[in-house]
Structure 1
Amino acid sequence: MNYLFVEHILGRLMIAYAGFMVIPFLGALIWREKSMPAFLFSIIVIMVIGLGLLHHGQKNGRMGVREGFVIVAGAWLLTCSTGAMPFAMSGVVPNYLDGLFESVSGLTATGATIIDNVEILPKSILLWRSLTHWLGGMGIIVLFIVFLPNMTGAVHLFKAEVTGATSERVLPRIRDNALKLWQIYLGLTAVQFFLLLLVGMNWFDAVNHTFSTMASGGFSTKNASIMYYDSLWIELITIVFMIITGINFGLYSLALRSGIDKIFKDLEFRFYLIIIAVSTFVVTLSLWWTLGLGGGNSLRQALFQVVSIITTTGFVTADYDQWPSVSKIILLLLMFIGGCAGSTAGGIKVSRIILLFKLGWVELKRAIHPKAVINVRFATRSVDPQIFNTVAVFFFLFFAILALATLLLASTGLEPFDAICAAAAALGNVGPGFGVVGPSTTFSSINSFGEIVLIICMLLGRLELFTLLVLIQPEFWRSRKGW
């Protein structure tokens, strides 16, 4: 593996990352906040790291599969660890580990927080929290590819970071695809920002909530999240854009080239909408019948929370921890499902759920006709048997990691249900869960060891397990032809 080339790429990325941190630094300067020295020092440290990697690295090199995995994993680890410095140095959290938790939660668009009162934070810190969401939502590496027009092998970076089980909707050139994705992302960001302004949200809150929504993150400037505003229009705009960001962004690119009907013909998109519709209907009935909230109010709360949870955004308009058991179970299941492949949402992804159903149906047929050759199709394409193997392995690893994380969290003193919910919320990049990490609380009750477990879960969930787990294989680091 060409380590010097890897260092060069990571150096360039860190310099770009420092450039983004200048934004909240300028905010702290304008608003005359005490967080200004923390941002300035962090920018200097990140620049020193970036320049050091550039100086020691090598500009020319081949981008192979191994280099792609190492660069993506290294980029996320470096940005998360250095992004924690403003939190720790400004004093908004008591120690670096808490700052790391906040940074990882931001960049992975999880939205879990250990800060009990965000409304007393400096505006620059709030902006940095939301900006980390926005950068991590579409992908740090995907953005970086846009600025590397001549880098060969960028496809390995793209595949290592972009989420989902299928990759048929990419453009022939990876940089073109990355550029198109970010253009769409920027356009949607601008539209939501102006719509929130139109319905009465102030510009600062509109910026932060737009960044959080587009990334399917969930960080808010208010302790009560979207519930604070008690505005039907703000909720409707947020619902629409949460749904939009839970859809494969490659579909939007395809629609721009071939027509909007391509979106509605997509199997995963239709299944995604069906899950939202059915879940909303059942939760609405549950709230109406059990809590007596009334039809309109039940639908309003149910739709928002169903969309917020399945897209793993994590905004809240109600304390769903107090809802009937049926409603809570549905929301818990939605945490696992997540959004579509290629979206900013976390979770297992709808495409994998569909493929698992198809795999189960095929095995039932084979039980009756053992010698039958069954061709499985996903939308208009035949599914490669290797994709089924990958999906099955992903499911096994996902729930194995979930079980291990639950046991480790339970060892810290959490009740079993609380431990499961905390692990699921972190691994699925959802944010709030149930119990001690519910919508009306934070993760501040989790001890240091538990924070480390959840940090690892958030990173594994955002990078879809394989990108990090492959690095622990000794074989990965051995020199081998064909990589």
Structure 2
Amino acid sequence: MNYSMVRYILFRIIRVMGCLLMLPFLVALVYREYDSAESFFLLIVVTLIIGIVGSHIKPKSKVIYAKEGFIITALAWILMSLLGAVPFVMTGTIPNYIDALFETISGFTTTGGSILTSMDGIEKSVQFWRTFTHWIGGMGVLVFLLAVVPMADGYSMHLMRAESPGPVVGKIVPKVKDTAKILYLIYLGITLAEIICLFISGLPIYDAVTISFSTVGTGGFAVNNAGIGGYSTISQAIIIVFMALCGVNFTVYYFLLNRKPKEAFAIDEVKYYFGVMFIAAAIISLNIYRAGVLDSAGLSFHHALFAVTSVMTTTGFGTLDFDKWPMLSKMILCILSLVGACAGSTGGGFKFSRAIIVVRNARNELNYLVHPKAVKRVYMDGHTVEGTTVKSVSAYLGLYVVTFIASTLVVALDNFDFQTTVTSVAATLNNIGPGLGMVGPMGNYSEFSYLSKIVLMFDMLAGRLELLPIYIMIKPKTWSK
């Protein structure tokens, strides 16, 4: 274990956090929230001093392997969350640190589940920081670090693999540093495009910026009690488009920008993603229209598509309380929330690519029982999926099920109803935010015990990092020399 490199990168993370906190500090000055500005400024100074002093001593060896990559990733996200919760406590927005930590982890992991019961009285700088955590966590702070900090290319790939979502992570250009830069430029470009579109649609600039942070990061924090339901249909339609775009593998945009449409549209996952999205929206819109939820077929499709896109991308925004919709609609949304978005996107969930691999591998196993001598391979995008990838997907599925069951049993100690207990775990493990019952689109997590909140925080981190970094970190043998 290269402890010196682990230490060095973690102190660099603290420096990055100090720089990121400058934005809400400036927002506090703009809106004359001087008490909050003082809190942010103090935290900026402390984090920058600690980060600069701690990272001043360079490690003797910069060599890191997969083990260090997983450890650094897990510890970096925990450290970010511990620091990111401090502004909520210092400003008095969330006096209890456990609750503040829950809100922060929910922000960084782009889950969007909240313990806040009302947005009234929360200062704009704090709201800005709250939604900005979605934007930071959407692409990942380590990807940002790789883009700006010199690091040996062969070793930095271990960090990108540990943090990036999906069964297979690769470089879209030869160098990892250049890959990270390209991803962040695309990410920034999509964010700016949504801000402009929302502003043109009539949203105040503050709302346009903060909602764009939540949308592009597929997080789901809103800045008022009405949520997205308080905005116009046009603004909601814009949010639908950008939620859908951010649930797509970002490699697609790289291909499109480089005029390679054939490669972009040859990705199986993207075809299934959009196909399932529109089919599910059509079924749900028909279901809620016939049930009399809405008296307009057009509005039924609009709100159904919004809910489907929000759940599939694990953004968690809501225009209507889908917990009151017919059971068929709720079941479809629950299933879609488990599958999630595409690999290589900012969305969470099991990922469409994994689901495709699992289904195709199961089909091959059934065919093998009938034709034992036949050679069957799993294909995606016209290429054979390596056996190690199929094996890792199966292992991920097993670990996912064990985590889900164990977490549900602990949360069940709170003695809430069945749908609240089960969907709260599903919503946090898949980084969705809202579930059903008490944690529905109009509910929150404030009533859960501290034990349950700790378990759900673990689930949010494990879900965002796709389980392995967290479990490798808590394995005692990992820390041996």
Under TM normalisation by the shorter chain, which class is it?
Answer: over 0.9
Other-structure match for 1:50? 51
CA distance in 1, matches of 2:451, 2:233: 40
Q: Is 1:455 aligned with 2:457?
A: yes
Matches within 5 A, 1:64-463: 64-152=65-153, 153-168=155-170, 170-229=172-231, 231-291=232-292, 293=294, 294-463=296-465
CA distance in 1, matches of 2:346, 2:370: 40
Task: State the 1:402 CA deviation.
Answer: 1.0
Query: Contact between 2:438 and 2:444, CA under 8 Å: does it hold in 1?
Result: yes
Secondary structure of 1:170 counterpart: coil
Q: Deviations over 1:366-405 (max 9, x none)?
A: 1101232212211121111111111111111112111111
CA distance in 2, matches of 1:74, 1:57: 19
Root-mean-square deviation (CA, aligned residues, Å) is: 1.4
CA distance in 1, matches of 2:77, 2:26: 24
CA distance in 1, matches of 2:115, 2:198: 27
Task: State the 1:285 CA deviation.
Answer: 1.1
Other-structure match for 1:464? 466
Q: How many residues align?
A: 478
Task: State the 1:179 CA deviation.
Answer: 0.5
Secondary structure of 1:134 counterpart: helix
Query: Contact between 2:240 and 2:310, CA under 8 Å: does it hold in 1?
Result: yes
Task: State the 1:277 CA deviation.
Answer: 1.2
Task: State the 1:407 CA deviation.
Answer: 0.9
Q: Which amino acid aligns with 2:260?
A: G
Q: Is 1:4 aligned with 2:4?
A: yes
Change (3 A) 1:279 1:4: same
Query: Contact between 1:184 and 1:252, CA under 8 Å: does it hold in 2?
Result: yes
Task: State the 1:178 CA deviation.
Answer: 0.5
Task: State the 1:56 CA deviation.
Answer: 5.5
Mean Cα deviation higher: 59-68 or 208-217? 59-68
Mean Cα deviation higher: 38-47 or 154-163? 38-47
Q: Deviations over 1:96-138 (max 9, x none)?
A: 1111011101111111111111132100000001111101001
Q: Is 1:17 aligned with 2:17?
A: yes
Query: Contact between 1:38 and 1:85, CA under 8 Å: does it hold in 2?
Result: no
Secondary structure of 1:160 counterpart: helix
Secondary structure of 1:220 counterpart: coil
CA distance in 2, matches of 1:139, 1:94: 27
Q: Deviations over 1:319-343 (max 9, x none)?
A: 1010000000011111101000000
Query: Contact between 2:288 and 2:300, CA under 8 Å: does it hold in 1?
Result: yes
Query: Contact between 2:70 and 2:468, CA under 8 Å: does it hold in 1?
Result: no
Mean Cα deviation higher: 286-295 or 86-95? 286-295
Mean Cα deviation higher: 150-159 or 140-149? 150-159
CA distance in 1, matches of 2:343, 2:309: 16
CA distance in 2, matches of 1:101, 1:57: 33
Task: State the 1:197 CA deviation.
Answer: 0.6
Query: Contact between 2:171 and 2:179, CA under 8 Å: does it hold in 1?
Result: no
Task: State the 1:426 CA deviation.
Answer: 0.4
Q: Which amino acid aligns with 2:127?
A: L
Query: Contact between 2:73 and 2:163, CA under 8 Å: does it hold in 1?
Result: yes
Mean Cα deviation higher: 46-55 or 299-308? 46-55
Query: Contact between 1:28 and 1:124, CA under 8 Å: does it hold in 2?
Result: yes
CA distance in 1, matches of 2:333, 2:287: 12
Q: Mark the runs of 5 or more structure 2 residues left unpaired by the alignment.
A: none
Task: State the 1:468 CA deviation.
Answer: 1.0
CA distance in 1, matches of 2:52, 2:417: 47
Mean Cα deviation higher: 362-371 or 240-249? 362-371
Mean Cα deviation higher: 160-169 or 11-20? 160-169
Query: Contact between 2:313 and 2:341, CA under 8 Å: does it hold in 1?
Result: yes
Query: Contact between 1:106 and 1:133, CA under 8 Å: does it hold in 2?
Result: yes
Q: Which amino acid aligns with 2:3?
A: Y
Task: State the 1:55 CA deviation.
Answer: 4.3
CA distance in 1, matches of 2:397, 2:462: 13
Superposition TM-score, scaled by structure 2 size:
0.96
Other-structure match for 1:28? 28
Q: Which amino acid aligns with 1:291?
A: G
Task: State the 1:220 CA deviation.
Answer: 0.8
CA distance in 1, matches of 2:12, 2:171: 28
Query: Contact between 2:134 and 2:214, CA under 8 Å: does it hold in 1?
Result: yes
Query: Contact between 1:7 and 1:57, CA under 8 Å: does it hold in 2?
Result: no
- After TM superposition, the runs of 4+ consecutive aligned structure 1 residues lying more than 4 A away are none
